[in-house]
């Protein structure tokens, strides 16, 4: 049986926030890395990203289009609702949204064994990380 890890919630919130990014290419790996860092002050690992995407795709929270992850309407509605609830509580930091999402996802237990193909390769990750660090250096 598979459970969602805290890092899975972190990845999904970073994807949600990166989908409207205007500085970096929306939904790009560099944008995902940047928002992951902003949310948790740490860099997501390639393995964390690919494993989370496998779970999310299996549970229909995201779809992979042209090699890029995209929230489904179902996935987007879950995060949007939780964001509204957190804002109503006065919690405005994305980390609060990650914690709330993690509690929500822990209700779901994936009983079936599943395999996932890596959405991103090691070379793509290194290039995107380099793009991210160059972007941060300009700030």
- Give the residue among 102, 89, 88 at the shortest CA–CA distance from 39: 102
pLDDT of the residue at 71: 92
Tally of structural domains, the chain = 1
Rounded to whole angstroms, how far apart are CA atoms 45 and 85?
A: 29
Q: Is the pTM of this model over 0.85?
A: no
pLDDT for 46-75, tens place per residue? 889 988 998 898 889 999 888 788 899 999
Instruction: Select from 99, 95, 103, 4 the least CA-distant residue to 56.
Output: 4
Per-residue confidence (pLDDT) for residue 21, from 0 to 100: 66
pLDDT at 15: 93
Find the domain containing 28 and state its range. Answer: 6-138
**96 within some domain:** yes
pLDDT digits (tens, 9 = 90+) for 103-134: 999 887 766 665 666 777 888 888 888 888 88
The pLDDT of residue 138 is above 90: no
The CA distance from 123 to 130, in Å, is 11
Half-sphere exposure of 53 (CA within 13 A, CB side): 24
Residue 91 falls within a domain, yes or no? Answer: yes
* Residue 1 pLDDT: 56
Q: What is the pLDDT of residue 125?
A: 83
Amino acid 111: pLDDT: 66
Q: Which two tokens stand for residue 87?
A: 């804002």
Q: Decide if 1 is inside a domain.
A: no
Q: In angstroms, what CA-CA distances link 53 with 86, 97, 128, 136?
A: 24, 18, 17, 25
Range 8-36 average pLDDT: 83
Beta bridge partners of 70: 63
What's the pLDDT at 123? 85
């Amino acid at each position: 049986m598979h459970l969602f890890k805290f890092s899975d919630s972190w990845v999904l919130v970073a994807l949600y926030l990166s989908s409207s990014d205007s500085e970096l290419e929306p939904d790009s790996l560099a944008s995902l890395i940047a928002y992951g860092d902003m949310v948790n002050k740490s860099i997501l690992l390639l393995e964390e990203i690919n494993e989370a995407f496998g779970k999310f795709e299996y549970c229909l929270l995201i779809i992979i289009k042209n090699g890029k992850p995209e929230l489904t309407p179902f996935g987007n509605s879950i995060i949007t609702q939780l964001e509204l609830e957190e804002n109503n509580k006065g919690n405005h930091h994305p980390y609060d949204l990650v914690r709330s999402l993690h509690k929500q996802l822990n209700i779901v237990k994936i009983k079936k064994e599943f395999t996932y193909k890596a959405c991103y390769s090691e070379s793509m990750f290194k290039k995107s990380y380099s793009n991210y660090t160059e972007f941060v250096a300009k700030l």
